[in-house]
Structure formats: C-alpha cells, structure tokens
Amino acid sequence: MVSPSSRRLWVLVVVLVELPGVLQKCIFDEVQTQARVVRAAPTDPISPPNVHPLNTNPPRRRSSVTHRRSLRNMAPPTPASPQPIRIRTWSPAESHNLSEAEKERMEAAVEEAVRKVSSLLSVIRVAGPLLLSRDVNKYCKFLWRNSSTANYNRCGRANKSYRSETCLDVTIPDDHLAGCDISPEAESPLRTELRPEGAGLPDTDFLLYLLLQATDRCRAEPSVLAYAVHCQTDADGRPVAGVVVLCRDRLTGATYSHQATVQTVIHELLHALGFSKDLFHTWTDCSSKSQGSAVCSPRGKVTHSDGSGQMRIYTPSVISALQRLLGSADPELGGALENLDVLLGKASSHWEARVLQGSIMAAVLDDPPAVRIDPVTLAALQDTGWYTVDMSRAQSLVWGEGEGSMFGSLSTCQNKSSSFFCTGSGSGCHYLHLHKGECQTDRYLEGCRVYKPLKNGSECWKEENGGEEDWSGEMFGFHSRCFFSNLTRQNQSEVPSSGSSEEGRCYRHRCRGPDRYQVQVSGSEWVDCPAGDTIKIKGYLGSVHCPDGRLCRYDDITPPSNDVTTFPASATSDPYEAVPSAQDWSWPPLRPPAELTAASALCLTAAVCVLSAAVVCYRKCCSCRVRIHAASEHHTDL
Ligand SMILES: *[C@@H]1O[C@H](CO)[C@@H](O)[C@H](O)[C@H]1NC(C)=O
Ligand SMILES: *[C@@H]1O[C@H](CO)[C@@H](O)[C@H](O)[C@H]1NC(C)=O
Ligand SMILES: *[C@@H]1O[C@H](CO)[C@@H](O)[C@H](O)[C@H]1NC(C)=O
Ligand SMILES: *[C@@H]1O[C@H](CO)[C@@H](O)[C@H](O)[C@H]1NC(C)=O
Ligand SMILES: *[C@@H]1O[C@H](CO)[C@@H](O)[C@H](O)[C@H]1NC(C)=O
Ligand SMILES: *[C@@H]1O[C@H](CO)[C@@H](O)[C@H](O)[C@H]1NC(C)=O
Ligand SMILES: *[C@@H]1O[C@H](CO)[C@@H](O)[C@H](O)[C@H]1NC(C)=O
Ligand SMILES: [Zn+2]
C-alpha cells in the first residue's frame, strides 16, 4: 500500500534582491508562501532503471516507494554508502542566447557553488537515471476512487489540455519525466499511454534547472537578482529538483562580484536542499541507521519557541554545534531562527542574525570574506537526515565563539559585555579584523550594534586603500588587519583633530603561533602584540590593542585572493582553497585542505556539459514583495 503522500511536488520560490551598496535580502519565505504545493498521484510511475520506454507499453507501474524498496533490496552485497551529491544543471533553450561574457560569469559562479555544495553533502545516490514524476493533478481528469476496484487510484481520464510539466518558468523536458497512462475502465488491465517514459538523467541526485534571463519578475522589480523554486522531492522527502532564475541584468554590472554570486547561489541551493521552513517538518532522524536499522524515522516538528519567544531548531547536531560554538552546555540552545518579518510562532528559513552573524544562512550576507559556511548550518543539513555532511569542511564562524548561551540576546547585546557588539557609533574593527568598521545596526540586529565594514575602502587587505597621510602609521595590504588604535606619529605637526581618539586602523601583522602575532606600523619594526594586551610603538604616541582570539587562530580567515574580477577561470578565489600565506609559521591546520574528490569532479563535469551550472538559488527570490532598503549597509540579504 502506498501512502498518497509518498511523492510530493513542492514549489519554493526564492528571490535574491540586490541594490547597489544596499541590503540585499533573501525573501525566500515570502515567495514560498505564494508557491503552490502539488501532490502527485499515489501510483505515480517510475520505470525501473535502464528500461527503455519502448518496452513499457503499457508501462509497468510501480509506486516510487515500492520501486525504491526494491532497489534497496536488490542492492549489491555491500550496502550503498553515501557519496558526494551529484548536482546536475540543465539550461532550457530560452537561456541560450546569452553573451559569452554573461554565460561565463554565470557558469563560473554556479559551477563553483555546485562544486562546493557537492563537497559538503553526500547522499545515497539515485540508482539509475533520475526521473521526475508528473503531476497527476495536471494530466488526469479523474482517478478511480473505489478502493475495491482493480484500478483504484489510477487515472481514469486524461486531461485533454495537459501539455507538459513546468517548474517555475521552466518547461521540464519530457525526457526528464516519467511516463503516464490512463486506465479507461475501472476493472480492466487495459492501459492507454498518455506520455512515454523519459530517459531520465544519468548520474544525477539533484537536478537544477538554470535560467538566465530577463523575466517579468526580474523586470518588475529592479532589486531582484535571482529567484528559485524547489520542485520535487523523492519518497524520503529529499528534494530532487529545483529551478533557479538569474536575472541577466544583474550579471552585467561593473560591480559584479564573483564571490558574492557564488555565495548567493550556495545560499539558495541550501534552501532548496532542505534548509527551508517548509521542509523542517519533513526532516528525518537517521541516527538509528548506524546501529543497523534500515529506516529513518520522521523527526516531526523540530522548531519550537524558547522561553523568550525566539524560534529555534531543536535537533541534536544543531544543538551540539551551537553549544560548541558558544561554549555552553545549555540544552535550550537550539538554532535560533530569524524572527523579523515572521509571524509570531512561525519559523523562518534563516538563522537569527544576532546569534549567527556571518553564516551563509543568515538573512543578510556580509562582504564575501565574512560569509561563512559554518558548523551550525552544516549541522542542520546533517539533521535533515537526507545528507551525510562533511563537517570537517565547515568554516570557522568566529562570531560568538565562547560567548555563552545568552550571546546575541536583545537583553545583553548592549551591555558592552561582549567584544562582538558595540555601542554608540564610533569607528572600530569588524570582528574578523579584515575590515575597519563603524558601529551600526540594521533591522535584523534589532538595536544591537556591530562594527560593519564601511562602504568604501575599509578592507585592510587591499593595498589600494592606503592613502597619503601616515600620521597614524596605517599600512594596507594582504597581510594587514584591523586594530583598535590611537597611535599618532611623534613630531607630527598636523594631527587631525580625530587623531587621538581610538578607532579602527590597518596595520600589518604576522603570525607566530595560534593567537600569537606581531604587528608593524608604518616605519616601525615588527613588535610582539600579546593577545589581549595594549602595546606602544616606538616613534608613536598612543597605543594599539592586540585582539584576543581573533588573529592567527583560524587558518580559514583570509582575505579573498581575487574578487570583483570578472571571469575567474579557476578556483583561485575559492575561500576553501585559499592558502593562508600570511603565515610564515606552521601548526597543524584546523582542517584538511579541500581537495576535489573524484566524485565532485564528476559533478563538475556533469555541470559543465549541461551548459550552465546548476543554481538552485534558493534565495528568497521574490518577484512580489521586494523590500527596498534605504539604508546603506554593505552586505547581501538572501
Ligand atoms: C535574446 O533573445 C531575445 C528575444 O528572444 C532578444 O530580444 C535578445 O536580443 C537576445 N539576446 C541576445 C544576446 O542575443
Ligand atoms: C466499488 O466496486 C465494487 C466492485 O466493483 C462494487 O461492488 C461497489 O458497489 C463499488 N462501490 C461504489 C461505492 O461504487
Ligand atoms: C488540465 O490541464 C490544464 C493545463 O495544464 C490545467 O490548466 C487544468 O487545470 C487541468 N484540468 C484538470 C481538470 O485537471
Ligand atoms: C544588560 O543590561 C540590561 C539592562 O540594560 C539588564 O537588564 C541585564 O541584566 C544586563 N545583562 C547583563 C548580563 O549584564
Ligand atoms: C568611494 O571611493 C571612490 C573612489 O575612491 C569614490 O569615487 C566614491 O565617491 C566613494 N564613495 C563613497 C560613498 O564615499
Ligand atoms: C622627531 O623628533 C625627534 C626629536 O625631537 C627626532 O630625533 C626625530 O628624528 C623626529 N622624527 C621625525 C620622523 O621627524
Ligand atoms: C590613547 O588612548 C588612551 C586611552 O585609550 C589614552 O589614555 C591616551 O592618552 C591616548 N593617546 C593619545 C596619543 O591620544
Ligand atoms: Zn534565504
């Protein structure tokens, strides 16, 4: 007996909004509420792998569930083990008249995003070609509803107007779809084929329809960068197909950032793959699998409101990842979800910005080097039950590390008890110390304030940000970081009035060990800068603060080697693979360098040969209600 809900078609729409120099937010949830949810017929057919459609007239009908079970039973002697997810991208013809430049930008960004996600997530691979199912509600006029008849739940009449399956703006090729047939009589085995079985897609675990075009949705709202839907899940609830539309105008700007686009795509892809409020309740618990049990059990409701009304995800990996991050054993530490723009008691598809600032799944994306594929996000993907996640590839979040369970709460963020938050509006350093910043808030911080990178020239690691005057001893370049300082050169006749007040300044640093480093200011020697201390520099008045626990501690916090370049041909700007060349000493790296596994290389090939890479831009791409932020914050909302 097949449960009618064994196969579901979901549509999640996501729009990414981009305003130059302005908040770009993810409106995933808003779009998603307008999406339709379709259920396929319980007897929706899937042909056995490698059976040519010609042989299947009338096709042998099997439910997806039966099919999957039989596949498992027929599995080779060694049980299948999870392998990197194969995300295949497919571009419909409408996408094809792009300029070479647009195509290259797009492909480079999507390919990198797909490669990264494939390196993180493994699945029990789809056996045989991936075939999507047809929506019985579309092709069928009625089903046989008498449960005592032979053709119970089969389609009795075709919908004469049925043409094809679509997902968002994409018409799914018949070749990707299972066939369907009609049983004209309730009791007769006679079947009429309505559509033949497609060939399906070989070596594919997730099919990403990628559309690069100027759609009405793109045109309607200048701030829309991309939007996406997730179209279909398999019998275990794992999403298997999605669409991403990238608005082509957004790819042509002079300020185009490859890294920011990659992160946008990853963000959307992670929404599509399961980090979505509409999928939270379908997450499954597979912890018993390691003890030999063959099945996973539903987790049921995983989001609950904590004592203060904050929605949180309470699943085991998420809780322990957050406990580890904040250095707390508090069992109430579920993954805090964004409460802004969400009805009371409802969950959002993003992490709370105050608690998990900088996460790839926060509603706002910072400057690319500050956006982290963090351990809590990976824990959430692990807790979907659909993926085995390579946690060793998590990037250090840094934000909130060791700050305790109250970190990020509205009641404590303004108490000056944490160096991650600031008060007032002065100049200082972004918490990763790659940028100078200004103490600011945004709507997601709800009054809490942090040092945000300035719009212009705040990257210490950019040589070109260095100016003429050096009364403060600033030095810019790849090895420079931000320090709180009020240094002023001795003998300096014209110190600006602001000269003596403490602010964020860029000085060179070099690592001497974990959390041990030296600094150099203009014209000075290298000087030891003991973490947590304040030092003086010869030739200068005032002093420099040496941050504790931020510098020379994380091997994966480095300036991007190359961003805002147009067509990165290789993975050189991949933060996973960036070599922390600032360090001329060594200690065991926190994680092994990312290598392309054979499996992800396969994906890569697949992605390339299908023309455009896959972007399941699960960003909240929204056509509809795109909020325009007049603020001048410098980051990206997803
Ligand atoms: C793409 O096709 C549209 C019409 O379908 C046309 O207006 C546009 O100029 C084409 N773009 C390119 C780059 O050829
Ligand atoms: C269902 O089918 C059976 C067998 O064909 C028949 O006896 C019965 O009357 C049908 N029930 C209804 C409600 O049509
Ligand atoms: C038949 O198909 C058309 C086109 O897909 C659709 O608009 C219509 O709602 C369908 N009718 C029924 C009864 O399912
Ligand atoms: C922070 O300040 C608020 C009021 O400003 C106070 O109620 C709260 O107890 C303080 N918390 C800590 C940890 O100091
Ligand atoms: C940013 O810097 C550029 C070049 O230095 C300058 O042209 C531009 O006006 C600056 N923008 C702001 C907002 O300061
Ligand atoms: C600053 O003044 C001292 C003596 O007052 C002098 O020895 C030194 O060379 C001066 N340095 C600069 C940079 O002018
Ligand atoms: C630098 O700041 C410290 C306090 O933070 C202050 O005592 C000192 O006088 C300042 N020095 C200068 C040169 O402004
Ligand atoms: Zn989002």
CA of 620 to the centre of ligand 8 (A): 5
Q: Rounded to whole angstroms, how far apart are CA atoms 565 and 560? A: 11
Q: Of ligand 7's atoms, which has the minimum distance to the CA of residue 543?
A: 1
Going by alpha carbons, the residue nearest to atom 13 of ligand 4 is 412
Q: In whole angstroms, how far apart are CA 230 and each of 14, 31, 132, 162, 238?
A: 9, 12, 13, 22, 11
pLDDT at 314: 96
Instruction: Give tens-digit pLDDT for 295-313.
Output: 788 899 999 998 888 899 9
Going by alpha carbons, the residue nearest to atom 4 of ligand 5 is 456
CA of 432 to the centre of ligand 3 (A): 54
Q: Of ligand 3's atoms, which has the minimum distance to the CA of residue 141?
A: 13
Do the annotations mark residue 267 as ligand-binding?
Answer: yes
Q: Of ligand 7's atoms, which has the minimum distance to the CA of residue 541?
A: 13
490 lines ligand 6 (CB under 6 A): yes
Tell me what the mean pLDDT of segment 7-17 comes to.
39
160 lines ligand 3 (CB under 6 A): no
Q: Of ligand 3's atoms, which has the minimum distance to the CA of residue 159?
A: 1
Going by alpha carbons, the residue nearest to atom 10 of ligand 1 is 97
Going by alpha carbons, the residue nearest to atom 13 of ligand 1 is 98
Q: Rounded to whole angstroms, how far apart are CA atoms 440 and 602? A: 45
Look over the chain and give the mean of its residue pLDDT values, rounded to a whole number: 75
pLDDT at 30: 54
pLDDT at 292: 60
Q: What is the largest CA-CA distance in the chain?
A: 101
Reported pTM: 0.77
Pocket of ligand 2 (CB under 6 A): 146, 148-149
99 lines ligand 1 (CB under 6 A): yes
CA of 523 to the centre of ligand 6 (A): 13
Question: Buried b / exposed e across 615-624, counting CB within 10 Å, b at 16+?
Answer: bbbbbbbbbb
Whether residue 17 is predicted with pLDDT greater than 50 in this model: the reply is no
Q: Which ligand is nearest to the CA of 621?
A: 8
Going by alpha carbons, the residue nearest to atom 7 of ligand 5 is 456
The pairs formed by 533-537 with CB atoms below 8 angstroms and a separation of 24 or more are 537/473, 537/487
252 lines ligand 1 (CB under 6 A): no
Given the DSSP bridges, would you call strands 540-541 and 364-365 parallel, antiparallel or unpaired? unpaired
542 lines ligand 7 (CB under 6 A): yes
CA of 320 to the centre of ligand 1 (A): 51
Question: Identity (one letter) of the amino acid at 499?
Answer: G
Question: Cα Rg for the chain, rounded, in angstroms?
Answer: 27
Going by alpha carbons, the residue nearest to atom 10 of ligand 6 is 491
Q: Contact, 629 vs 25, CB < 8 A?
A: yes
Q: Which ligand is nearest to the CA of 188?
A: 2
Sorted by sequence, the CB contacts under 8 Å of residue 606 that are 6+ apart come out as 86, 87, 88, 89, 203, 204
Going by alpha carbons, the residue nearest to atom 10 of ligand 2 is 146
pLDDT at 585: 31
Whether residue 281 is predicted with pLDDT greater than 80 in this model: the reply is yes
pLDDT at 635: 33
Instruction: Give tens-digit pLDDT for 40-75.
Output: 333 333 322 222 222 222 233 333 333 333 333 444
Going 277 to 282 to 288 to 292, the CA torsion angle's sign is negative
Task: Indicate the pLDDT class of residue 508, thresholds 50, 70 and 90.
Answer: very high
Going by alpha carbons, the residue nearest to atom 3 of ligand 1 is 97
Instruction: Give tens-digit pLDDT for 582-617.
Output: 222 333 222 322 322 222 222 222 222 222 222 222
pLDDT at 353: 94
CA of 539 to the centre of ligand 6 (A): 8
Question: Identity (one letter) of the amino acid at 14?
Answer: V
Instruction: Give tens-digit pLDDT for 99-111.
Output: 888 888 888 999 9
The residue with greater pLDDT, 536 or 635, is 536
Q: Which of 485, 497, 500, 546 to mutate to test the pocket of ligand 7 (most atoms within 8 A of CB)?
A: 500
Q: Rounded to whole angstroms, how far apart are CA atoms 384 and 318? A: 11
Instruction: Give tens-digit pLDDT for 157-196.
Output: 999 999 999 888 789 999 999 999 999 998 999 999 999 9
Tell me what the mean pLDDT of segment 119-134 comes to.
94
CA of 416 to the centre of ligand 4 (A): 10
Whether residue 134 is predicted with pLDDT greater than 90 in this model: the reply is yes
Going by alpha carbons, the residue nearest to atom 8 of ligand 3 is 138
Instruction: Give tens-digit pLDDT for 478-489.
Output: 999 999 999 988
Helix pair 316-326, 375-383: axis angle to 10 deg: 170
Instruction: Give tens-digit pLDDT for 329-371.
Output: 998 899 999 998 888 888 999 999 999 999 999 987 888 889 9
Q: Is the peptide bond before 58 cis (omega within 30 degrees of 0)?
A: yes
Do the annotations mark residue 433 as ligand-binding?
Answer: no
Whether residue 257 is predicted with pLDDT greater than 50 in this model: the reply is yes
472 lines ligand 7 (CB under 6 A): no
pLDDT at 365: 80
pLDDT at 576: 24
166 lines ligand 4 (CB under 6 A): no
Q: Which ligand is nearest to the CA of 493?
A: 6
pLDDT at 25: 52
- The string of DSSP letters for 40-59 reads --TT---PPTT--GGG-SSP
Do the annotations mark residue 629 as ligand-binding?
Answer: no
Q: Which ligand is nearest to the CA of 488?
A: 7
Q: Which of 94, 96, 97, 252 to mutate to test the pocket of ligand 1 (most atoms within 8 A of CB)?
A: 97
Q: Which ligand is nearest to the CA of 187?
A: 2
Angle, CA 119 vertex, CA 116 and CA 121 arms, to 5°: 110
Task: Indicate the pLDDT class of residue 634, thresholds 50, 70 and 90.
Answer: very low
Task: Indicate the pLDDT class of residue 421, thresholds 50, 70 and 90.
Answer: very high
CA of 219 to the centre of ligand 8 (A): 21
- Catalytic site residues? 268
36 lines ligand 3 (CB under 6 A): no
CA of 143 to the centre of ligand 2 (A): 14
Going 616 to 620 to 626 to 628, the CA torsion angle's sign is negative
Q: Which of 255, 438, 455, 456 to mutate to test the pocket of ligand 5 (most atoms within 8 A of CB)?
A: 456
Identify which of 186, 157, 190, 180 has the alpha carbon closest to the alpha carbon of residue 45: 180
